[in-house]
Structure 1
């Protein structure tokens, strides 16, 4: 156990990107929830799915060769596949605001979504639904979003490769980078199978714990020295998030920024993109800055924002204690601060 406090990531937020609003819904009945990332004026969209067990909705329309150019929000949710229903609530709310693709007889809000698996944390019968997605949109604003045990990160855990009983609390975090008046931000809900590392030092910040629960085992080194992982059910993890920029970009460039954003995940999570993760990153380009510093700079900014937002997710997480119930087991997930 280290005696020095963990360094916090630089200040920033995806809501510093012009045209982006964020709102959370956190279910008080068990730790789960959803997070709406809204671009009510519309934003060029892209996506890159790297995990082998994703849960997604409306990702095909984001392919650069497909018709639709702009979307109106992204929904991130817990609840595994059931959580995809939260996007329906976001569509309903946006339609009420007059937001969506004009089809002459009305408007269709376009809200791609991705989910993470948090149903081992408490009663799995409680999960985000359309009501939750609607409430997240109602709460959306350009203010600094809450981080840690809220929204899509409420039931997140990290470091489950040796069993969830040795895992730690994950969460949701945000960060941003601004260069010459252009901002790239990210919001990441981290429910990773692997450990979370500090992207600047490679120090393990949160993840699988030693058998006594008092320290970090360092999953990468443990696997390389031959410690066997616990048998895993595919899709029981997943880190999902959104990159946004106010730079002027095309749909193809939005997809490329989603791709390079995964470099940030690889700097902050190990192992990442596993057969039991559904790691998915979206990208939104509002164009509100009216210019671009070029893709080399934007790509560097995107990877940095993702890495730092992933770190923020666990640094802001609080410990979670769930007592045994009729439909769930007892669970203790310490926070990163608890092990310092």
Structure 2
């Protein structure tokens, strides 16, 4: 049994050109989150986990000829959940959005999934649910137990322990003239920390936190882990224009905030990934990368905390 959390919150500070939508299958304890761009965006990523479930992420590689995406999607359902991409693509095509080819527009929607079958009935979200999330997308950014975070939990490394229900966290930060929205779907092996204190994670039968970092580092093993069943999905959205190479560097820098908030992190049992998309028109220089990467790390740390608050 997982310690439960309820409800959702929203934030009214948005980024022009970015809409976020969620949809849930409450019966099967899973869901979908979509991030839709008014105009094609550039996007980079950093893969920092060892058990990812991904679709169309390779289009973001530095050696590809494609330099735009039209949305991002995060989902439950592990590899089965990646089918939701077709629902997002259908919605985007109906809006006339996609990579123009001689025969048809092709929406490009990199997608990543968490394993949440331990939460419900081991049923993945559907393309229809993703289409519903697109229909609901707006500048009113919701977070909490919604969308792809509906079946998420943290602190799943200890045998006979009870994980804590998490969700999808969101945070906004202003750095110079740039606003950054960061989102985190927290389905982690490790515990969640705020100011060096555990706020969510594995609990013993007395309801006390076990402190996985301490136990594991001291060799006090009572671990029951399976690969491919734990993942933290992160996405940053910056209201500026940057090339893919700089966005990949910012994604890598973001992992510092993840490591501060989740312990242990980036294990061989996690499938963590960070996306960073530039959704604005104001050109930014390479010199801005350090500033934006540092800000993203701080923002993602807070988003992870907000996934359990």
User: Which TM-score band (shorter chain)?
Assistant: over 0.9
Judge conservation of contact 1:182–1:289 (CA < 8 Å) in 2. no
Match of 1:127 in 2: 124
Correspondence list, 1:1-340, <5 A: 16-124=14-122, 126-145=123-142, 147-163=143-159, 165-198=161-194, 201-210=195-204, 212-291=205-284, 294-315=288-309
Partner Cα separation in structure 1 for residue 298 and residue 253 of structure 2: 10
Task: Kindly state the Cα deviation for residue 106 of structure 1 after the two structures are TM-superposed.
Answer: 2.2
Evaluate the alpha carbon distance shift between residue 160 and residue 116 of structure 1 in structure 2; reply closer, same or farther with a 3 A threshold: same
Structure 1 residues 213-222 or 262-271, which shifts more? 213-222
Match of 2:6 in 1: none
Task: Kindly state the Cα deviation for residue 176 of structure 1 after the two structures are TM-superposed.
Answer: 1.4
Secondary structure of the 2:308 match is helix
The C-alpha deviation readout for 1:46-97, integer Å capped at 9, x for no partner, is 1111110000011111012211101011110011111101111000000000
Judge conservation of contact 2:116–2:229 (CA < 8 Å) in 1. yes
Structure 1 residues 187-196 or 284-293, which shifts more? 284-293
Match of 1:337 in 2: none
Unaligned runs of 5+ in 2: 1-8
Task: Kindly state the Cα deviation for residue 263 of structure 1 after the two structures are TM-superposed.
Answer: 1.3
Task: Kindly state the Cα deviation for residue 259 of structure 1 after the two structures are TM-superposed.
Answer: 1.1
Task: Kindly state the Cα deviation for residue 12 of structure 1 after the two structures are TM-superposed.
Answer: 9.1
More strand by share: 2
Partner Cα separation in structure 1 for residue 73 and residue 13 of structure 2: 15
Judge conservation of contact 2:175–2:292 (CA < 8 Å) in 1. no
Unaligned runs of 5+ in 1: 1-10, 316-340
Match of 1:326 in 2: none
Judge conservation of contact 2:237–2:278 (CA < 8 Å) in 1. yes
Task: Kindly state the Cα deviation for residue 164 of structure 1 after the two structures are TM-superposed.
Answer: 7.1
Secondary structure of the 1:166 match is coil
Task: Kindly state the Cα deviation for residue 278 of structure 1 after the two structures are TM-superposed.
Answer: 0.2
Judge conservation of contact 2:70–2:108 (CA < 8 Å) in 1. yes
Judge conservation of contact 1:18–1:288 (CA < 8 Å) in 2. no
Q: Show structure 1 runs of 4+ deviating over 6 A.
A: none
CA RMSD of aligned residues (A): 1.8
Task: Kindly state the Cα deviation for residue 289 of structure 1 after the two structures are TM-superposed.
Answer: 4.1
Judge conservation of contact 2:81–2:125 (CA < 8 Å) in 1. yes
Judge conservation of contact 2:183–2:235 (CA < 8 Å) in 1. yes
Task: Kindly state the Cα deviation for residue 224 of structure 1 after the two structures are TM-superposed.
Answer: 2.3
Partner Cα separation in structure 2 for residue 14 and residue 56 of structure 1: 30
For normalisation by structure 2, the TM-score amounts to 0.92
Judge conservation of contact 1:14–1:243 (CA < 8 Å) in 2. no
For normalisation by structure 1, the TM-score amounts to 0.84
Partner Cα separation in structure 2 for residue 12 and residue 181 of structure 1: 23
